[in-house]
């Protein structure tokens, strides 16, 4: 799916010079985005809302400039009736079909909607919140509490042992699909603490030589995946049977079905495979 050539996104807040007359809109409902097919070509950016905004509950947030035009993300309360030539598609389904920069921008839009939807009222006193003009924040006009976009950090780790990588099948995965271990940070933990705890809880082993690999914002619904590599230190694999149903060590040439390189999980697995190709 190609949608825009030379797509350029500049995130930011509106200024006095922002021209709203040429503004364009991305339209979401939860994790689905509205796509219009014009002569079978998909269009994601709309010059006007294709529905009556007074008839549905709509929230809208400024994103920045897309190809120099002001862009808003619009979130509507629920699926609209389908119109001819329009389709609601999941953000996830676009991950492999639109260019990377566009997908990142759509992910950001989705996360901003998620935050705006979840912070319509002050969590402290229940008063409806207001947007802060100078930054991406909501404030409470009554008690002055401020609510920034929620980001949920998680670790993701490729663990090696004697030239093999640890891959696990989680119960929520499709059949035969395996990936590296991941888990959410708890309050008060460092990433390294979280990594050691998650690995021990999920597969019962201890790791050493933890190294930073990279990070990826992950819009399902609003996470920050922080990637590491590590080496097995001690212990035999014992799956927790709660989240993980099977885990094992795999050589680079005997990998099961794993995620693509669009995700940091896929990048970690590919890093492992390339490293051992070089060594061979
Ligand atoms: Zn308040």
Rounded to whole angstroms, the Cα distance separating 163 from 166 reads: 10
Q: How far is the CA of 148 from the centre of ligand 1 (A)?
A: 14
71 burial type by CB count under 10 A (0-12 exposed, 13-18 middle, 19+ buried) = buried
Q: How far is the CA of 147 from the centre of ligand 1 (A)?
A: 10
Q: Which helix (H) or strand (E) holds 265?
A: helix 264-279
Q: Which residue has the tokens 């049977």?
A: 241
Contact 241, 170 (CB under 8 A): no
Query: At which of 118, 136, 160 does a domain end?
Result: 118
Token duo for residue 211:
């190294």
Which pTM value belongs to this model?
A: 0.85
If DSSP codes are grouped into helix, strand and coil, which group holds residue 96? Answer: coil
Whether residues 92 and 191 share a domain: the answer is no
Query: At which of 94, 118, 142 does a domain end?
Result: 118
Whether residues 109 and 223 share a domain: the answer is no
Range of the domain at 95: 9-118
Q: How far is the CA of 233 from the centre of ligand 1 (A)?
A: 49
Query: Nearest CA to 72 among 131, 125, 123?
Result: 131
Q: Could you give the maximum distance between any two Cα atoms of the chain, in Å? A: 65
Share of the chain above pLDDT 70, in %: 96
Whether residues 182 and 244 share a domain: the answer is yes
203 in a structural domain: yes
Contact 156, 182 (CB under 8 A): yes
Question: What is the pLDDT at residue 162?
Answer: 96
Q: How far is the CA of 121 from the centre of ligand 1 (A)?
A: 8
Rounded to whole angstroms, the Cα distance separating 229 from 110 reads: 29
Q: Which residue has the tokens 């099948």?
A: 169
Q: Which residue has the tokens 């495979």?
A: 273
124 in a structural domain: no
Q: How far is the CA of 113 from the centre of ligand 1 (A)?
A: 20
What are the pLDDT tens digits along the chain (280 aa)?
A: 545 457 899 998 888 888 889 999 999 988 899 998 888 788 899 998 877 767 777 788 999 999 999 999 999 877 666 777 888 899 988 888 888 889 999 999 999 999 998 999 999 999 999 999 888 999 999 999 999 998 999 999 999 999 999 999 998 888 889 999 999 999 999 999 999 999 999 999 999 999 999 999 998 888 999 999 999 999 999 998 888 999 999 999 999 999 999 899 999 999 999 998 876 6
Rounded to whole angstroms, the Cα distance separating 2 from 144 reads: 44
234 in a structural domain: yes
Whether residues 274 and 178 share a domain: the answer is yes
Q: Which residues hold their Cβ within 5 A of ligand 1, which is an ion?
A: 122, 124-125, 127, 140, 142-143, 145
Question: What is the pLDDT at residue 52?
Answer: 74
Q: How far is the CA of 108 from the centre of ligand 1 (A)?
A: 26
């Amino acid at each position: 799916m190609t949608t825009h050539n030379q797509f350029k996104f500049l995130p930011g807040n509106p200024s006095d010079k922002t021209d709203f007359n040429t503004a364009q809109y991305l339209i979401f409902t939860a994790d689905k985005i509205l796509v219009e097919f014009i002569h079978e070509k998909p269009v994601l950016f709309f010059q006007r809302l294709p529905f009556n905004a007074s008839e549905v509950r709509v929230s809208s947030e400024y994103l920045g400039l897309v190809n120099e035009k002001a862009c808003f993300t619009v979130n509507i309360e629920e699926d609209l009736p389908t119109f001819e030539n329009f389709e609601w598609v999941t953000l996830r389904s676009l991950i492999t079909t639109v260019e990377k920069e566009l997908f990142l921008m759509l992910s950001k839009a989705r996360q901003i909607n998620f935050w705006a939807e979840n912070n319509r009222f002050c969590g402290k006193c229940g008063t409806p919140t207001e947007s802060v003009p100078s930054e991406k924040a909501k404030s409470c006009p009554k008690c002055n509490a401020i609510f920034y976009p929620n980001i949920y950090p998680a670790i993701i780790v490729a663990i090696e042992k004697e030239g093999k990588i640890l891959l696990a099948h989680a119960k929520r995965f499709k059949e035969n699909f395996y990936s590296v271990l991941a888990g959410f940070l708890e309050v008060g933990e460092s990433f390294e603490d979280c990594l050691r705890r998650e690995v021990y809880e999920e597969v019962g082993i201890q790791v050493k030589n933890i190294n930073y690999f990279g990070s990826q914002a992950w819009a399902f619904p609003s996470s920050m995946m922080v990637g590491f590599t590590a080496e097995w230190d001690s212990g035999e694999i014992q799956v927790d049977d709660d989240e993980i149903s099977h885990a094992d060590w795999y050589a680079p040439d005997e990998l099961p079905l794993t995620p693509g390189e669009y995700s940091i999980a896929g990048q970690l697995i590919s890093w492992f495979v390339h490293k051992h190709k070089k060594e061979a």
